[in-house]
Structure 1
């Protein structure tokens, strides 16, 4: 800001000096000198107006743009869009190395579309998977069923259906782990003996956004308030920029939700809707 003010002041002084010299030349000189004075006067006045109005506005615009860029960089935002099909979950999930966190109400379609990518990663790496779903017994369930036009118990059944997919994955992961760790199975058919972990949580509250953490990126998808299903929903993708950006904010929200949620005992092969 100080440099900008110094820059404007310098140009203003030079322009004012040109205008003053121009006036003196017009007043004291002959026709030739007077013409030069007129040119200096007009140039000085134009320079003053140019710096006071045009360049000042341009500089302010550039400064605003720079400040906006700095705010975006500090937030960690790398993408803002409204078409969900533009999110390349396949690439992100298949390349996950350490952490996958999923927070949504139930998202049967999303789970069906991405389950195989997640399974491949969890079965062949040391990636940790945490899934948070709406508790089938949550007081929000009847209200959501009424809002979306579901029959009584339908939403709970959908949550249970999705839950059982994660429970089945847990079973496969633990079976592989036991076989790979067993001394009697050194000749295990698993070429890759790595496997991750699976955790499932039920949350009694209603997540206002769907949140997906995949290693150093977090995807935040706005929940739709209307009943009409659509692929057009605002979403943001943040990267972990090692500062107090939005990645850490949403990761903290995920951890808070998990702390408030109930961990499902995945040893009970299936969840039933009582």
Structure 2
């Protein structure tokens, strides 16, 4: 299926690896020009090289900056310029007891997971509205609905993203711009893979055995496995395309059936 993204320009925050890189690869494969983002110039340069190698003829550029820092975000936006598609993907996650999460942790998670999307959307959405076309996609999580007891700070920020997307969509009334959220399930991103490898090494087990054991703990999951980043990227690419013109203000599940609540 042609998603009609040729000629569109997309910026994906946190896209040097994991879900963000998978989204960029999918959009580039559909003919969109993509701007990759990471914290450091070195990480961005490496990701740009990898994407060009994986997608022949891809129009790829990059911009670096710490999205937790408002001043760096300002410089980042100046480097990025106008875009047709904004994917608010960047985010932190960790497993940590609620009592051990200090004020500094809460502030960092809010700045990275929530304020990055606020700042990027505030800067880039007006241009889309002026031009009469655009897409904003926010990457949330099933943890924002069914908040894990050992990841409360993460779940709260992902719940905030759902609220942000709901509110921003109301600003697009009677325009060609849409704002939607993707509720992702447990995904085998680079960060998760690194944690699994560490556990496997400590236990003297194989990565695949540990990966399967962890996935099996999610008893509500219908797919009974980790999702792959490319699976979430397919949903994002559709929402970013002209074909999704009737979908606005929605939170679409790509969670492998992990959520039992009906939204």
TM-score higher than 0.5: no
TM-score by length of 1: 0.36
- Structure of greater Rg: 1
Which has the bigger relative contact order, CA under 8 A and spacing at least 6? 1
- Write 1 or 2 for the structure with the bigger share of helix: 1
